[in-house]
């Protein structure tokens, strides 16, 4: 099948490479010439395990190309997938500017019946708005569908190749058939639904997981008010098959480019349809306030930050990515700098990204070696569960001259071991 992917972010590049690996002729289209040049040379402009190898393989096979030229990319396509960003606008609702702009640009180049699949996360009702817009721009017949994406950064290639399900949102029987055929090699259950249901499913999945994380964070906070240990509570409730173990580790709150945005968009959508008092407002608020709240408590415990060296370990929003969107490091470092701390930051992949995300400050320096970042640090703050951090032997960097704190922001370490090495240990809810 001839397939065009518009937008070469995570979803676009991974989807393009995976569908090319199934023997389709795939074109990746982006208006960003630099990105297209880089991808055309087989270089992925962000860190995502296994993606570059797959990309190179597919480029070599001739099934995958990249371009900025709408004409080339659209005229050959039987299916066009739009995977551009839909960031939150100031009022919290999804900003559809990039999506509309992509559709406006593709419309004049349609010349045969085409299926246009929206992969970007959009609120229910968006296909109707798109339809009205396209009708004004082209007389060529097209079909709209909504096929949301459930891949995670850091495991994007694996997730795309092994989805739990493929959700196809459309109305026309032939469109369902063609989209099923395209997704057949994934060997996953296909769920045919209305477009609005597909869009709600995407928001629901992310909002549910974000709510679950917020829930366990709240329980962890309650555990700190008594003698309970959140890890024991989790061990005690997760064997209940109705509850389970997934997305169940407490911490500094959820981050990344999706959960914060999607929860706030669902809250804004709820308000826009008259559901003023909704769960998602609260989930969003609680997550937004989480880092300053925990940091206030930690401040009391460590006795303030003025001129203290703090090793901040893990700058990306989670392991196996260099993405720092809504990463806990951002608010944490901002808090610490304002309190007068001296930051020694380490990350295995995100140091270059950090330059763009963290304002230059004389008190913030970056280290590519973990042991150097911890040198003379009064506080070690293990923010992200990169294996390079969780597998590190912190007994080797214990400074005998200092009273040292070890803050385990994701409960990844054995408190007994850390204490036995001489640190004051502080986890979450334990
Ligand atoms: C998330 C969803 O998991 C994907 O299914 C979805 O396709 C994607 O958003 C998207 O909408 O594009 P992602 O943002 O890559 O994927 O990351 P996750 O691994 O889900 O983690 C999100 C955040 O939750 C991270 O900050 C993570 O540290 C945090 N988290 C996760 C917790 O704080 N506790 C947990 O138990 C699990």
Give CA–CA dist 417/401, Å, rounded. 19
Q: Which atom of ligand 1 is nearest to the CA of 248?
A: 36
Catalytic residues: 258
User: pLDDT value at position 388?
Assistant: 98
User: pLDDT value at position 402?
Assistant: 81
CA-to-CA dists, residue 371 to 336, 337, 375, 377, 394, angstroms: 20, 21, 7, 10, 9
Nearest CA to ligand 1 atom 23: 254
Domains recognised in the chain with CATH numbers: 2-191 (3.40.50.720), 202-281 (1.10.1040.10), 288-426 (3.40.50.720)
Give the CA count within 13 Å in the CB-facing half-sphere of 341. Answer: 27
The ligand 1 site (C-beta within 6 Å) comprises 149-153, 206, 209, 213, 247-249, 251, 254-256, 258-259, 317-318
Q: Model confidence over 263-285: pLDDT tens digits?
A: 999 999 999 999 999 999 999 99
For ligand 1, the distance from its centroid to the CA atom of residue 275, given in whole angstroms, is 26
Q: Which atom of ligand 1 is nearest to the CA of 256?
A: 14
83-107 mean pLDDT: 95
Q: Model confidence over 99-135: pLDDT tens digits?
A: 999 999 999 999 999 999 999 999 999 999 999 999 9
- Mean pLDDT, the chain, whole residue set: 97
Give the CA count within 13 Å in the CB-facing half-sphere of 114. Answer: 28
pLDDT over 90 at 288, yes or no: yes
Q: What is the token pair recorded at 302?
A: 């460590």
This prediction has a pTM of 0.96
């Amino acid at each position: 099948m001839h397939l065009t992917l518009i937008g070469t972010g995570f979803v676009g590049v991974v989807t393009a490479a995976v569908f090319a690996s199934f023997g389709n002729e795939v074109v990746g289209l982006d208006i960003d010439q630099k990105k297209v040049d880089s991808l055309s040379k087989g270089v992925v402009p962000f860190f995502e395990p296994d993606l570059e190898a797959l990309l190179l393989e597919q480029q070599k096979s001739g099934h995958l190309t990249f371009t900025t030229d709408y004409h080339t990319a659209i005229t050959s396509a039987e299916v066009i997938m739009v995977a551009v960003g839909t960031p939150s606008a100031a009022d919290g609702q999804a900003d559809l500017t990039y999506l509309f702009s992509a559709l406006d640009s593709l419309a004049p180049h349609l010349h045969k019946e085409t299926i246009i699949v929206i992969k970007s996360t959009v609120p229910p009702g968006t296909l109707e708005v798109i339809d009205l817009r396209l009708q004004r721009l082209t007389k060529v017949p097209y079909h709209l569908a909504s096929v949301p994406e459930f891949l995670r950064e850091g495991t994007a290639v694996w997730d795309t190749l092994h989805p739990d399900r493929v959700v196809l949102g459309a109305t026309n029987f032939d469109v369902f058939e063609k989209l099923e055929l395209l997704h057949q090699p994934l060997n996953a259950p296909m769920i045919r639904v209305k477009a609005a249901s597909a869009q709600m499913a995407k928001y629901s999945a992310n909002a549910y997981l974000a709510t679950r994380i917020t829930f366990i964070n709240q329980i962890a906070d309650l555990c700190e008010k008594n003698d309970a240990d959140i890890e024991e509570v989790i061990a005690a409730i997760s064997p209940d098959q109705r509850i389970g173990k997934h997305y169940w580790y407490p911490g500094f709150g959820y981050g990344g480019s999706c959960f914060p945005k999607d929860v706030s968009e669902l809250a804004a959508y709820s308000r826009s349809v008259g559901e003023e008092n909704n769960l998602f407002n609260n989930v969003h608020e609680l997550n937004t306030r989480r880092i300053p709240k925990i940091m206030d408590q930690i401040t009391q415990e460590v006795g303030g930050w003025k001129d203290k060296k703090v090793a901040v370990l893990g700058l990306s929003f989670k392991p196996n990515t260099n993405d720092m969107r809504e990463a806990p490091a951002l608010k944490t470092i901002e808090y610490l700098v304002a309190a007068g701390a001296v930051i020694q930051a380490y990350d295995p992949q995100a140091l270059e990204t950090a330059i763009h995300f963290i304002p230059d400050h004389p008190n913030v320096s970056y280290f590519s070696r973990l042991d150097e970042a911890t040198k003379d640090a009064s506080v070690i703050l293990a923010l992200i569960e990169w294996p390079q951090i969780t597998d590190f032997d912190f007994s080797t960097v214990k400074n005998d001259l200092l009273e040292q704190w070890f803050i385990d922001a994701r409960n990844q370490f054995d408190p007994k071991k850390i204490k036995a090495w001489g640190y004051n240990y502080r986890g979450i809810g334990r």
